[in-house]
Amino acid sequence: MPTSHVLPAEGKLGILVVGNGAVATTFITGVLMARKGLAKPIGSMTQYDKIRVGRGADKRYLPYADIVPLARLDDIVFGCWDVYGANAYEAAIYAEVLQPKDIEPVRAELEAIRPMAAAFDRDYARRLTGDNVKRGVGGQLPTRWEMVEALRDDIRRFKSEQGCSRLVVLWAASTEIYVPVDASVHHHLSDLEQAMRSDDRSRIAPSMCYAYAALSEGAPFIMGAPNTTVDIPAMWELAEQTHTPIAGKDFKTGQTLVKSGFAPIIGTRCLGLNGWFSTNILGNRDGLVLDEPANFRTKEVSKLSTLETILKPEAQPELYGNGRPAAQQANVDDAYASHYAHKVRINYYPPRGDNKEGWDNIDIFGWMGYEMQVKINFLCRDSILAAPLCLDLCLLSDLAARAGRYGTQRFLSFFLKSPMHDYTRGEEPVNHLYQQYTMLKNAIREMGGYEADEEMD
């Protein structure tokens, strides 16, 4: 039998969620219900998927937990931060994602989860008005370094009070305004720390304070929104220094899940692409925040990045570069003259609530250049798709930490819309869903002591 060198999942695993809204409460409620046997964690790879290990006569298909020591659902303890003071039960009822019959059986446990005051700066999410926020001297907005210190204290206190042996911190809160990467602040840990200490509010987002606090306390950090947070070299440096895993960014739920799965069909079949137009309607709090242009810009960058790394104009100019060789594409002023058109829109539409709808119009062409269209209408439930991703990301990040893995966990790209990568060295993210799945399976095999026997083409 292969020997796994991963430390056992002993004791309680604390999961601290930034945000207590629709995604967080759907995730927490589902786990609580599942461990009572009252619901099924459908959509969770760690709970349902099976991976082949071995070859030939030794080939077997095993659940993740039979390959690697995953934390059990019974051992999870939840906590959270939020700008609104409602407990998890009140927040779940308000979100209107789950029916009361699926919340009431765990009401007492949800009511016990009361959000800690959030490290919040309204300049980063103007549509939110909650008052359960951390205060500095004289009741003012705390400095960024004060935010860090307060969050570290929260993490230590929660771990002690709940008797947790390990922690994971998961961002399931709103999208912040777009923060461009600035080499003078974001490329070196010493510069990042100096900016935090000098209260550089324009280049240090609150999410960076959460990430810094988590990593400083040895807790893996997962960025579930498209925020500029752990996808900067300074955070990579901190993660390596503290030997802590990081993952991000942006949960891959509806439209981008479809895009990362369908685009490979076009590419594998050697069909051409003239354009891909994506639009969404969404009415929950996330939709409200994204109705602010500065916040939407962050999401737009994340969603636009998926397609271009799967269908590459420079690799197949006749199919994706409007027939222009790669050498010519860089000299074309109009971007869409050198490759296909790609547009993404998000529209806040309150009547839809959490039941997001994604429309995709795909203009393709085939034999002898004849044009065709594909139209996809995905009526999905945003938080229902995100909840199992939260569970998998938390369990696998905890697993990675016990396996001695640290820094960016590329094998978790499968779950994320805009996978982290080292852009300072010209590395491209892997957005192809099936290549991401190969990375995931190989990592599980390796941590289980098996051979990583699939190649990513």
Instruction: List, for residues 358-402, the tens digit of each pLDDT value.
Output: 899 999 999 999 999 999 999 989 899 999 999 999 999 999 999
How many degrees, rounded to 5, is the angle at CA 78 between CA 73 and CA 82? 145
Q: What is the DSSP string of 183-212?
A: HHHHSSHHHHHHHHHTT-TTTS-HHHHHHH
Cross-strand pairs, 53: 60
Q: Exposed, middle or buried by CB within 10 Å (0-12, 13-18, 19+), for 265?
A: exposed
Where exactly does CATH 3.30.360.10 map onto the chain?
Answer: 255-379
Residue 335 pLDDT exceeds 60: no
Q: Cα–Cα distance between 218 and 166 in angstroms, integer?
A: 9
pTM above 0.85, yes or no: yes
DSSP one-letter code for 176: P
Q: Mean pLDDT of all residues in the chain?
A: 93
Query: Which residue's structure tokens are 């076009």?
Result: 266
Q: Tokens 């869409």, residue?
A: 336
* CATH 3.40.50.720 residue ranges for the chain: 12-251+383-447
Is the pLDDT reported for residue 75 higher than 90? Answer: yes
- The predicted model gives 127-153 an average pLDDT of 94
> Which has the higher per-residue pLDDT, 345 or 4?
345
Instruction: State the Cα–Cα distance between residues 418 and 170, nearest whole angstrom.
Output: 16
| Domain at 255-379: CATH code | 3.30.360.10
**Distance, CA of 328 to CA of 323 (rounded, Å):** 10
| CB 228, CB 181: distance < 8 Å | yes
Q: What's the rounded Cα separation, in Å, for the pair 263 and 374? A: 11
| Residue 417: pLDDT over 60 | yes
**Stretch 258-276: mean pLDDT:** 95
Positive or negative, the CA dihedral 80, 78, 161, 398 is negative
- Mean pLDDT for the stretch of residues 79-86: 98
Please tell me the distance from the alpha carbon of residue 205 to that of residue 202, in angstroms, as a whole number.
Answer: 7
Q: CATH number of the domain at 12-251+383-447, please? A: 3.40.50.720
Nearest residue to 84 (alpha-carbon basis) of 122, 12, 13, 132: 132
How many separate helices (H) and strands (E) can be counted in the chain?
17, 13
The pLDDT of residue 260 is 93
Helices (H), 78-132: 88-95, 107-111
Given a cut of 80, is residue 288 above it in pLDDT? no
Q: What is the DSSP letter of 414?
A: G
